[in-house]
Amino acid sequence: MGKLLSVELCQRIVAFVEEGHSHRSAAARFRVSVKFVSDMVLLKRRMGSLEPGSQGDGGGHGWRAGAAGWIESRINEKRDLTLDGPVAELRKALDIKVHRVTVWWHLRGLGLIPMAFSVDSLMGIPKASEL
């Protein structure tokens, strides 16, 4: 596996090529492969920068992208909502079909549901000891 090179070095390599030097001379001078030089020049041309992009899924996609702020504000407005409330409202207001457990995980991630609560208690299902 290749070694990681700094963004500054990549910028110097691209600047060297942009001054009119060949890819081969840049590779020899900076002790990298010709392919690496070519890839950096192409990356700079396509992206306009050599800064690394974000990794991972990034979040902010799927149903949460448009509904995350809406759910949080709705829960803060009406604290006595059961878990089925936001699910039904999402379906009606935003035309988003989502399972209630998914909404529960989202609310738990926001810190709006303490870890001690279970999905059953939020749905109004009594515990076996309460029957």
Give 10-residue mean pLDDT values along the chain (131 residues).
78 96 96 95 92 66 72 78 81 82 80 62 58 54
**Half-sphere exposure for 34 (CA within 13 Å, toward CB):** 5
Residue spans per domain, the chain: 7-47, 64-130
pTM comes to: 0.44
Q: What is the mean pLDDT of the chain?
A: 80
Gyration radius of the chain's alpha carbons:
26
* Residues of the chain above pLDDT 90, percent: 30
